[in-house]
Structure 1
């Protein structure tokens, strides 16, 4: 009885609340990032770190290869204790190289942390612009077309990427590549 009364009361309250349509839009952060100098600079910095760390790791493996060749060349002259010591030294160097590789390129390694640090500023710029555009356009939701969220269909009328780019002071004109303009249109939602 109480449950039925609660449902009737809930329905009557719900019926008195005016239904409002939720306003939404989407942006393409991949497209916006491609136009942002801050993002391009961050990518360049990430590449520099990745190249440096890759070279460091490669140098470690070159050193290991030299130790292995030296060991193979001198193996017949070494005592069993000397052989064990050399093999242990080589194995320690291999472990050290693997550990360093994992520390740099592994899950949440140095490269991951550096990406997170360098991408923070461009992401904050986009987030502030999204918030401002959502308030100006009275949007309830803003989705990212470039995210893992699957968008099976997107109506260009709801694409607010150009508004975000204008807010960031970026050029909203499509860029031409090999004489073909990009798929990006400059149609803005109303």
Structure 2
């Protein structure tokens, strides 16, 4: 189903995924896609398909800016790098404060309540993400729906307004921390 066909139902991505626990396949580049800043986020599974257990998504981009520091109140998140390099920062504010540049096969786990940020460090990078169910569609609320796979071209970049970011954050238990910078360390 194209994005245009899906738009005629409840949300721009309706009908791309089954919306219930059922076996299915996606072709390369398939899934619910949204551009957030200069990055493509593709939701492959949601809690609708996993009986409320987890979401799976990818994040594709080139070297860019750091994603703002933020905290997920109820979401655990996994970063697994399949291509390129991604710098991940974490601070649990209880003694664990580290950052790593992850390359293919590199893995990072961010439990709920941990301040974190990331920055894609090289061209053609991909993160495979897994999160607590219900979080994956945060990217859709933060971004602009697209049906085009691959890393967005500069004319496809989408910068959400502060209001859109705050609304997405509120809907998905995410608090942005403009008071916190990993780059000042």
More helix by share: 1
What is the TM-score of this pair, normalised by structure 2? 0.27
Q: Which structure has more RCO (C-alpha within 8 Å, separation ≥ 6)?
A: 1
More strand by share: 2
